[in-house]
Structure formats: structure tokens, C-alpha cells
A and B are shown apart, each in its own frame.
Chain A
Amino acid sequence: MWEPDNAREVAECLRDAAQEHRALNIVGAGTAQYWGGDIRASTTLRIHKLDSVLRYEPGDMTIQVEAGMAVADLQSVVADHGQRLALDAARIDRGATVGGMLATADQGPAQLAFGGPRDLVIGATLVLSDGEIARSGGHVIKNVAGYDLARLVSGSLGTLAAITDLTFRLHPIPAATGTLSIETGIDEAVTYAEAIAETALEPVAAEWISGRLLIRFEGTRSGVHERLDAAAHITGVGTSILDDDEATQAWAQQAAVSSRNGHSAQDTTTLHGLARPSDVSSIVHAAERSCLEHGAVPTIGAGLLTGRVDLRIDAATLSAHAATVDQWRQDIESHDGTVTLRDRPEGLTDLIDAWGEPPSAVAALRAVKAAYDPGDLLGPGRFHPWF
């Protein structure tokens, strides 16, 4: 295991690896190590010691931090100034790093209002596979000078370059946050969420978690109250407005769907489905059907207005996992969507591919990979069978 202290050492590691033709697995905090295909790499390059704030300008609401910094640590630094990085992916509580966040393009419920990590990144430093250092973007929130390489490494899962620092745009912490909850099936949940969005109430999150709809608002204290009431009027009988503790608990339950608890849940697979918002309910039904058919137990979390469906399946046998994944994937693909395999029991990828139908631009993906990592030394196997 290599554990460089700074970007210069990361560059040395990559240069050495290139010379020795040594394949590397880049790791931040390791909360998403199994996403995608299995890596064939003997050496782990841990970025976690690169964990300092390089530059924080509260007045500009921008911060530059090293890539190994935990998102949670970043949040506590900026919270002192009433600011936040508007990201709430499930893995943050477990120490996920800012570099890992961008490399996985992982996002939580607030994606509805703020987008994903790539929408908040305004600058990046990358170390390429031959040890060359490259910066793109900068420190200002608006910038179109040059190609935006930070967006290119979004979703790259450690296969394109090592990210050594990132600069983010921050947002103010709202004066108040409020959550509405109602026990309901997916079909009604979709109807409610759409009706609430249509009345310009501007929810920042609308999630359905195995039988329960959660809608989150942010703003001023009185404004959030007004909108919670207006939304509750739409959802009707059975709606409750959660107090702070209840809300924290409810959102933790939401996070648990896409994030397995601990490393050793050998009978758990987590899947990440993406589709049009209008297809969410049929995709949720498809997930339930696949699990039922193959004797797997589903836990489902759906971003109703964003079109994200996370499925956690618990099943006894590996073949039941594989059959469920396969069937659900076919279903989502028939709706032009995609499914990514995240955490899974060992051996699952012997039975099914980590990735489904390649996108039409797969040749461009391969060309980009070849341009930045011609020796295929960074995370080889991660995107198998696409490349």
C-alpha cells in the first residue's frame, strides 16, 4: 500500500508505477471500493493523507481542499461560517472523501436542488498516469477557460487520473429545514411529489423509501412552515411534519438504502438505477417483482423528481442476487435507463457483468481512457466489460 503525503508524492507514485507497469487501485476512504467491476491491481494508492484545507475564502463562498479530506470534515470547517457543500450522499457519514465523491459522482436527495458533485466543483488538480500534474478550472464560480477536466473525472472511479485537490462552490446553510412524511405506496408518492413541485413550492428533496414519502424544504423558518403546510394540504390525511430528531432518523433510513452497513454484509447487494422521473414507479414495481421472483428481500429508495432508484437486495444465494440484478437491469434498460452494480458479495461478478448495455459513446469513453491512461494502470477492470 502506498500512502503519499502530498500531491508531489502522488506524482512520484504514479511515475514509479508507470515505470514498473504496476497497476494501481486509488482509494480515498474506501466507502465505495466495490462499485463497478472488480479491479486487477496489486497496489493500493491511498489518498487519505492529503487531507488539508488549501484555501478557504468565506466571503467568496469557495474552498480548495485536498482530495483525501473527508466530506464530513469539510462540512464542519465551513459550517463555522454558516456555509455548506450542498451534497448529502449517504457515504459522507462513513468518512467518504471529496475525491472519492467526485470519482463516484455519488449524490444524495439534495441532488434535486443542487445537482451532483460535478455541479459544485469549480477547480481540480489531477495527477495523470505518467505523473504529469494538470489543473483545470480555478477559484471562481463562473469560468469557461479551457476544458473542464474536473467534469471529465466525474464518475471515473479511479481509472482516469488521481485527483489531488478540488475547489468547490459553497452554499449558505439555510435558516430552517423541514421534512414532511407520509406512509404511502410508490404510485401515490409520485403523484404527490409532482403536485408539490408543480405548485412552485420548491422542495429540495423528494424521496420514497419502501413505503414512505419524505419531502424536504429549506428556507426561512416561517417560509418553510408555510410550504410544509401547503404540501401537507396536497398529501392530505396521514401526513406528519417531522420534528428535528424524527427528520434526522428518517433521512438516515433513506441513506441506509444505498449504503450497506459495515463491510461484511456478505449477503447484500446495492444497485443504483437511473431513469426518467416519470418511469420511477414502474421501475420500483419491477424491482419488487424481480426480488419476489428470485426470493430476494428488497429495500428501495427512490428520488422521485430526479429519476434515481437505489435498490438494496438481501438474499440467501449468489445466484438469486445475480438473477435479480439481471432481470431488473433489463427492465430499466427497456426504459432507456441504466443500472450500476455497487456493493455486492464476493463472486457476484463471476455471474453477471458489473455494467449493462454500453452507451452509444462507448468508443469515446475508450478513447478518453486511452488518452489519459494508455498503459491501463489505473483501476484496470473497473469498467469491464465496456473497457
Chain B
Amino acid sequence: MTLTETTTDTARDDDTFLDSLCGRLRPGAVIVDPTALRTYECDGLTGFRVTPSAVVLADTTEEVRQAVLTCREFGVPYVARGAGTGLSGGALPTSDGIVISLQRMRAILEIDPRNLRAVVEPGVTNIDITKAAAPFGLHFAPDPSSQQVCTVGGNVAENSGGAHCLKYGFTVHHVLELEVVLADGSVVRLGGVNREQPGYDLLAAFVGSEGTLGIVTQVVVRLVRNPATVHTLCADFPSITAASEAVTRIIAAGIVPAAIEMMDALAIEASEAAVGAGYSLDTAAALIVENDGPAAESKVEFEAVEQICRDTGTTKIRIAKDSAERAMIWRGRKAAFAAVGRISPDYIVQDGVVPRTRLSEILSRIGEKAAESGLRVANVFHAGDGNLHPLVLYSEAEGQLEQAEELSREIAELCVEMSGSLSGEHGIGTDKACSMPRMFTESDLAAMWRLRRAFDPEELCNPGKLLPTPRLCGEKPGVYVPHALEVSGDIERF
């Protein structure tokens, strides 16, 4: 679907608004040139495009504040933007609104190895935090595949995860404090010097709020000590079912690897074409498992993982001999997403979650659905978390877009039916707002609206994201599908 908005009100107050905005900010901070604005018309979900009326390139918290205050005065919506790698249309602008870009605020203000923390501006890339911490033997644990480019502000907004989040947790577990510009223009700090703080945990509620509760202008992140040892293997399996069984057994054995990732044959084919990391081309599925930690523990666990892989019928195990080989295995995994472009003209990335015991069930259902629709689906995902990333391959030129979107949406909703979630890490954004009623009832959503309005009563801060609205989804946006337990009468909803 391509969403093209028409400006409702004509030029009306635009000029006074823009004059006012320019007047309050340093020269050159406001972009209005139509060609330059096109850079900001979409994020990583390129099917949704809207050109904003202006972009503010903020250098300081004060500039963000001035931009927010001006928007408030004129009733103009705004959306924060980091690197624009988001995959749910979270940073999609509105045509009558502006984009506030944080990408120029990229200073690393402090590394405090003693307290295991770093103070950074929101536009710092994820990988740059780890690079700055490396001399101290520390790193920033959340490691999205997009870590070379995505910003920590975006990570906070999306509560981003990554391959190693199975053991280390998500962004919410690694943020201590935020400086935020709220919708009323006030600058506040959420969280504090300690992970625990008195009062409602506004910090933790803010993380993952997709830019709808305020704009992050500074982040204090936790740094994690690099593990003493790391073991990585890549195991081939004759079927996705066998690989899924291995995942289930690893979890059931009480092992918490740093990462368990799965790639199917199509994903491997794409990745190999792109980076040639040495994955087997003749296997149905491969698991990448990494164990880290103190030497004795990680060795014992790694051997147990190896044994489980053998018991579940692995056909080949490749163990990384050194850090170079380990890096190569990961390169193949992290490149797989983008590499799919090599085997298909277009693709949609889906991001549903299922309980880990239901992996093989959902994967075979996805296979069936794909066969029905005549489209191919590649799978490369965080198996240990049950977080799927089915990539629906299609050709827009051959008119398959709608079919692909339909299949992708069905997959996400199937995850919900299986007691899972619509999104594990990419967020709801614009993309899935209208599917929210599949997962939540009207009263659940009403309770979420209370939070949103408490922070932003005028709904100017990234409107139209995360929560369904009649304008976006129609009056009756969808039907709540009761949970299996409700159907069986084990729990009630009333």
C-alpha cells in the first residue's frame, strides 16, 4: 500500500509557523527544500511515504525544545527521527507536520567504566557506543542487525533487540536514564543514577513507546562487561522441524545461550550470494548458537548444545575456531535481511513472536500459507526468543504487492492466535496499528490511550502511530480474537 496524504488545510498558517520556527532556531536548522525533504518521507518501511512540511536538524536539547514549543503553539504535529532504519513506519511524517531529526546530536559525552555506564546523545549509533566502551572491556548489549547505522534514540523508542538479547535482555534493560523533551516543552529526566527509582517506572514505560511520549535528547546506557569466553557454532538440519526441536530442547535443558538464531534454505541462499560466509547451500535450516560467560560454564553449556544438536539430527556442525570465523558466521546472519534483495525484487519483513515451544508449528503453518498464496517466504530469525522474521518475497512489477501484504499480515495475526505477539522488536508504528485490536480489546487500548494523553494531551507527538485510530483504520478497526484460554474458560475477559 502506498499512503499518500493530501494536505487538508491549505497553506493557512504555514508561513507564520515556518517563520516562527526559523526565527527560534539557528540559521540552517530548518529544511524546507522539497528535494531535501524527500529524504525524510519514509523510514525502512518504504511502502509508506509522506513528505513533511519541514525538517528540523537539531543540534541541542534547547533546539528540540524550541521546535516542540513552536509546534505546540501552532498545533503542528511532529515526529522524531534517528537514522530512519525503523521497519514499522514509526518515523513516517504527516504532510502538515515536521520531522525533528536527532542525527546531528551524536556526541558521546561520558564513558564511566567504574559505574558501567555511558552518557550519550540520541543520534549516536548503536555500534559507536560499543566502540567507545571497547577500550574498557565493555559493550552496549542490545545489538540489532542494523547497529552500524541505527541510533540509540531509535533503539530506546523501539525497545530494540538483537541476536544477543536472549541472554542479555532488550534496550529497556540497558537504559538507566533519559533526558526527554515532553509535549509541553518541559525537559525532564526519567530514571536516575540507579536502575531502581522511586515512583512509577516512567523510564521503563517510555522505552518502546515509539516516539509518541516525547523526544529523547540524552541517554544514559548501561555497559556490560565482555564475557570471558565465547563459543559459536553453526549446525545444519535436514528440516526446520528438526532445527526447531533443537531450540526447544536447548531451552528446556535450562541452558541460556547468548544467542540462538535460525536461517532457512532461502535465507542462506541469499546470505551466501551476498557475503559468502560459508553456510551450507544444501541444508533446509541452520542454527547459530553462541554460549558465552565464564570459561567452565560456557564450555559445559556449549558441549550440551552440541549434543542436543546431534540428538535432534544435525547433519553438520561448524564450530568457530577463532574470533575471525565467529565474526564471519555472524556476518552471514546479520547480512541475511538485506541480502534477500538478491533473490527477490521486493520483500516485506515481518516481525511476529510465538512461544518458543510452538516454533515448528508456526513455521509449517507459514509454509502452508506461502504455498497457498504462491509466494516464497524466507526465514531468518531470533529462534531463542521465538521472534520470527518471515521475509515475504514478491515482485511489485508483477503486481504481487497486495498479495504479499496480505500474507505478511496473516502471519502476524497467526502469531497472536498462537498466544504470541504482533511484534517482537520492530514496533507497531504505522504498519500494524490497525492490527492492534487483534491482540488487545477496546478496554486494553483505552488504558494505553490514557498513558498517551497523560504525556501528550494534544496528540501532536508522533500522531497516528502505535494505537489504532478511526482515521487510520476505519470506525471498526478489527475484531479482538479471544485468547485460547478464554475460549476454554480457564480465564475470563469481561
Contact = CB atoms under 8 A, between A and B. Distances in A.
Do they bind each other?
A: yes
A201 interface: yes
Contact of A119 (B169, B252, B295): B169
A151 B296 contact: no
A105 interface: yes
Contact of B446 (A83, A132, A154): A132
A151 B297 contact: no
Contacts of A307: 115, 193-194
Given A142-B385, A223-B294, A62 B355 contact: yes
Given A105-B201, A140-B355, A276 B193 contact: yes
A152 B446 contact: no
A91 to B, nearest CB: 15
A361 B190 contact: yes
B200 A147 contact: no
B287 to A, nearest CB: 17
Interface stretch (B232-240, B309-317, B414-422): B414-422
Choose among B196, B356, B441 the residue with the greatest number of A CB atoms under 10 Å from its CB: B196
Nearest to B428: A145
A60 B421 contact: no
A227 interface: yes
Nearest to A355: B198
A111 B447 contact: no
For chain A, the bracket of interface size reads: 35 or more
Nearest to B170: A142
A371 B453 contact: yes
Interface in A77-132: 82-83, 105, 107, 111, 115-116, 118-119, 126, 128, 132
A156 interface: yes
Interface in B142-158: 158
A158 to B, nearest CB: 12
Interface stretch (A237-245, A257-265, A284-292, A335-343): A335-343
A141 B354 CA distance: 9
Nearest to A341: B198
Nearest to A160: B200
A342 to B, nearest CB: 11
Interface stretch (A17-25, A181-189, A192-200): A192-200
Contacts of B195: 111, 115-116, 306
Contacts, number: 278
Interface in B172-192: 172-173, 182, 186-190, 192
A171 B166 CA distance: 12
B399 interface: no
Contact of A200 (B201, B226, B428, B444): B226
Given A200-B228, A274-B192, A219 B296 contact: yes
B423 interface: yes
Interface string B183-219: 0001111101111111111101100110000000000
B264 interface: no
Interface in A253-298: 274-279
Contact of B188 (A83, A337, A361): A361
Interface of B is mostly: loop
A384 to B, nearest CB: 13
B461 interface: no
Given A55-B485, A140-B420, A107 B192 contact: no
Given A142-B382, A143-B424, A223-B300, A202 B293 contact: yes
Contact of B490 (A55, A118, A201, A275): A55
B251 interface: yes
Contacts of A276: 115, 193-194
A213 B198 CA distance: 26
B188 A360 contact: yes
Given A145-B439, A147-B209, A118 B201 contact: yes
Contact of A227 (B294, B426, B436): B294
Choose among A59, A145, A198 the residue with the greatest number of B CB atoms under 10 Å from its CB: A145
Interface string A287-324: 00000000000000000001110000000000000000
Given A62-B355, A359-B199, A142 B386 contact: yes
A134 B197 contact: no
Contact of B454 (A8, A153, A308, A364): A364
Interface string A44-57: 00000000001101
Interface in A191-248: 194, 197-198, 200-202, 219-220, 222-223, 226-227
B196 A135 contact: no
Given A134-B446, A140-B419, A59 B440 contact: no
Contacts of A359: 188-189, 192, 197-199
Interface string B375-402: 0000000100111000000000000000
B35 interface: no
Interface of A: 7-8, 11, 54-55, 57-62, 82-83, 105, 107, 111, 115-116, 118-119, 126, 128, 132-136, 138-149, 151-156, 160, 171-173, 194, 197-198, 200-202, 219-220, 222-223, 226-227, 274-279, 306-308, 335-338, 340, 355, 359-361, 363-365, 367-372, 383, 386
22 contacts: A59-B251, A60-B356, A105-B201, A111-B195, A132-B446, A132-B447, A140-B353, A141-B386, A142-B353, A144-B159, A146-B436, A147-B205, A152-B201, A198-B137, A202-B227, A202-B293, A219-B297, A223-B294, A278-B114, A337-B192, A338-B198, A359-B198
Task: List the 7 closest pairs (A to B, CB-CB), nearest first.
Answer: A172-B254, A223-B296, A134-B447, A151-B204, A274-B194, A371-B454, A154-B201
